Amino acid sequence: MPEIDLERLRKLRDQADELLATLIDDLKPFKSTDFALGFRRTPTSVAEGPNDVNVTTTCSCLMGLAHAGKLAKFYETEPPSAVRDVMKNIMAAPWQSSGLIENNAFTSTLVIRTVGALVRAGLLPPDDQQKLKKSWKHNAHAPKTPRRTLSEIAKELTGHITYLGITPYPPAAAVVYWFVDGVHHAGINLGAGWGRLFSYATDEFRKQRSLVVARHTAMMDPVAMAMAACLCARLHSILKSSGRQLPAVTADTLPTIIELESSIVDLFREQTASGIWPKYFPLFHYKDAGSNFCYTFELLEAVLLEFGQKDNSIFLNEIVVEGLERAVAACRAGRLETRGPKGGIGGASIEYCGWNSGGNLETLKRGQPESWATAVVHMFLHELIAALSRHIHVRLIRDYDATIPDPESKGLRGLLDIKVRIGDKELSLRKALKEDLVRSFENYKGDSAEELLGKPVRRKPISALLFGPPGTSKTEVARAIAVSLNWPLVEIDPSHFLRNTFQNIYVQAESIFKDVMDMYGVVLLFDELDALVQKRDRSGFPDTESRFLTTYMLPKLAKLHNRGRLIFLMATNYQENFDDAIKRSGRFDRLFCMGPPTMEEKCKRLDSFLGEGKETKTGGMLLLKFAKEDSFIYDQLTLYTFGEFKSFVSKLGTSNNIDSELKRRKVDGLRAAVEDDCRTVTMRLRELDFLNDNQYAKQWKPGKWSRLADLYKADFSKLILPDTADPSPVMKYILERQKSKRQ
């Protein structure tokens, strides 16, 4: 089957995002004049008393806002305790709806699911479900009981599976799914009740699936089949994450994920051209309002929650993608706009926008949106955007050949440390990377990175420019950060920008940045992209095209930074020709000059340079001892990059004989070896001798040096080098070390 085009998925996501943007404006007019009383069902609904709370409507609206992460913003003019106040009133109100008996399974389920949604969104502590109590009994004939916690109510509802039915209807897969979703996120352990739920889910799915496959038009109910599939998928997930708490249940009792996904594809085959599904069998019957059916967007929200995860394959299926496109088109076509009284009859007239489920003919004839249906549509839209974002991200990780971290790698702990100068202080690069970048995303490691879709990182360092001599492990730093967070590493170099020739570089650059904006939970390394960010006012600037490239890159990097969903690094040998605007905060939060590992680190990790063989415990100590006895040896070997040091010690000996070779050479022999070897390395200590000449000594402080450490601390702000030639690599490095910044 051909792969679904990414642009098609992006277009669908953009359409959903446009509709979701109206969430707060859509629900605000439905808010009761007393915020603690929750929401009204329609523009003309009026309170029946001073403490009247429409429980099911309010629960739907709270869930819609919580799912989209908008509840705090919605109540921004209210006290921070607004959510708790609303929940307190919900617990005190009668749990009944449109003539259903009090404490019926439907209303009880919606309350439990709402608490789960609030816990999931971080708006209620998990243990609050033990504090919320209600006078509750599962049927009119049950004995009166003292106030019960939600956990106790949930366990009572699973005492017998029929308790989840709404008299005289048996339990509906949709209601049972919503119940399980609530207890799962609220952290309620049902004990033996889990076994009854597993048995019900399996039996219900098998029954509904067989009717659909048999095309039994009189009895089949594809919506019930899909909701049973969602229930089974959620139980798979619960078992996977909480298996130790469910010892009497195994995955063998449930249908396989392949069976469940296949049923979802069949569901979309039954979708009408309008984007909705026919009404099959009702979930239950309202005494005052008639039959209640599973709303199309309640169905789709559940399907996306369970089958829109990165491990699911339904987004590879043309039938499903077409169906979701029809559903979004139905949202656009079915959006209602009407005017109604604010606060019920007698209030000032305001505009109401949203959706109507079609369950009440009177409100539908008047073109009035319903708050609960509006909230449900927004829940669907939110889950659709999240599911599309996941699958676009997974495709991009594959297309860019991302490196998946090796779980055996040590991350930053395995990185040979480098000293970085920040102001007047010498800091550990390893520590700075951990404190400045890794810590910003410490709550988003591994699979938790998906939370960045709804909670991007703000006002914390997330980017760094890594510069310094060649061979100073810039790519290794990116890999180490990726391993520390258990994130993929994506590397982008000039070849990505030049795939379609230089003439099309802007088109390719636009495509690349569109892709990286869709990534999250990755370490992104821009490597050797110097030509794209050169100074725009430099004399002898190579060409106008490069100047425009720099101008193009500035807002792109700023937008990527504001996105707050990943760490991005740019690696270059020297940053002196980079445009100053590129290096400002808001694009790169940290500027780190990458130098060679310290001499102590090289000697401490000598085994890593010598390759396979027996470990040497004394070779590194002996090498460091000799180096400290001769400042030339110490300082010159300090300037050796990882590769240069590895080549040098390999000439001295192997892991099997390095100790004896060092003892044989002693200090004088080691110095001779260093003097001979350093003629071919990048940074040579002797090329710094000119700084002690009178011509230059007066231009810097303190004006003389004998050890490399003196130059690391020196002030070169007034040093003027000859214009006839570029500074030597080692002089460039000494000057660059002073450019590191924490912005």
Q: How far is residue 323's CA from residue 253's CA, in Å, rounded to a whole number?
A: 30
Does residue 533 sit within a domain? Answer: yes
Task: Note if the bond before 702 is cis, omega within 30 degrees.
Answer: yes
Q: State the pLDDT at residue 501.
A: 65
Q: How far is residue 344's CA from residue 630's CA, in Å, rounded to a whole number?
A: 89
Among residues 534, 563, 596, the one where a domain terminates is: 596
Domain count, the chain: 3
Structure-token match 């599911």, residue found: 387
Q: How far is residue 514's CA from residue 14's CA, in Å, rounded to a whole number?
A: 13
Residues 124 and 45 in one domain: yes
Q: How far is residue 297's CA from residue 680's CA, in Å, rounded to a whole number?
A: 69
| CB count in 10 Å sphere of residue 215 | 7
Residues 54 and 172 in one domain: yes
Ramachandran angles phi, psi of 356, nearest 5°: -125, 135
Q: How far is residue 68's CA from residue 20's CA, in Å, rounded to a whole number?
A: 9
Does residue 678 sit within a domain? Answer: yes
Residues 458 and 341 in one domain: no
Q: State the pLDDT at residue 545.
A: 57
Does residue 152 sit within a domain? Answer: no
Does residue 690 sit within a domain? Answer: no
Residues 378 and 457 in one domain: no
Residues 133 and 278 in one domain: yes
Query: CB of 323 within 8 A of CB of 266?
Result: no
pLDDT below 70 — which residues of the chain? Answer: 1, 47-51, 77-80, 139-144, 243-251, 343-348, 500-503, 530-549, 612-616, 723-725
Structure tokens at 19: 């509709």
Residues 532 and 409 in one domain: yes
Residues 298 and 444 in one domain: no
Q: Measuring CA to CA, which residue among 395, 382, 343 is closest to residue 68?
A: 382
Does residue 606 sit within a domain? Answer: yes
Does residue 418 sit within a domain? Answer: yes
Residues 619 and 492 in one domain: no
State the burial class of residue 668 (Cβ atoms within 10 Å of its Cβ: 0-12, 13-18, 19+).
exposed
Q: State the pLDDT at residue 539.
A: 54
Which CATH number covers residue 202? 1.50.10
Residues 120 and 261 in one domain: yes
Q: How far is residue 484's CA from residue 577's CA, in Å, rounded to a whole number?
A: 32
Does residue 445 sit within a domain? Answer: yes
Model confidence over 276-314: pLDDT tens digits?
A: 999 999 998 887 778 889 999 999 999 999 999 989 988
Q: State the pLDDT at residue 566.
A: 97
In 384-536, the DSSP E strands lie at 419-422, 425-428, 463-467, 489-492, 523-527
Q: How far is residue 575's CA from residue 578's CA, in Å, rounded to a whole number?
A: 5
Q: How far is CA 79 from CA 30, 35, 82, 127, 247, in A?
A: 19, 10, 6, 22, 44
Q: State the pLDDT at residue 612.
A: 64
Does residue 696 sit within a domain? Answer: no
- Could you list the residue range(s) of the whole structural domain that residue 538 is in? 401-596
Structure tokens at 119: 């816990």
Q: State the pLDDT at residue 247.
A: 55
Which CATH number covers residue 461? 3.40.50.300
Structure tokens at 740: 């590191």
Whole-prediction pTM value?
Answer: 0.90
Residues 392 and 406 in one domain: no
Residues 106 and 176 in one domain: yes
Among residues 572, 596, 620, the one where a domain terminates is: 596
Q: State the pLDDT at residue 723.
A: 65
Residues 279 and 417 in one domain: no
Among residues 596, 628, 655, the one where a domain terminates is: 596
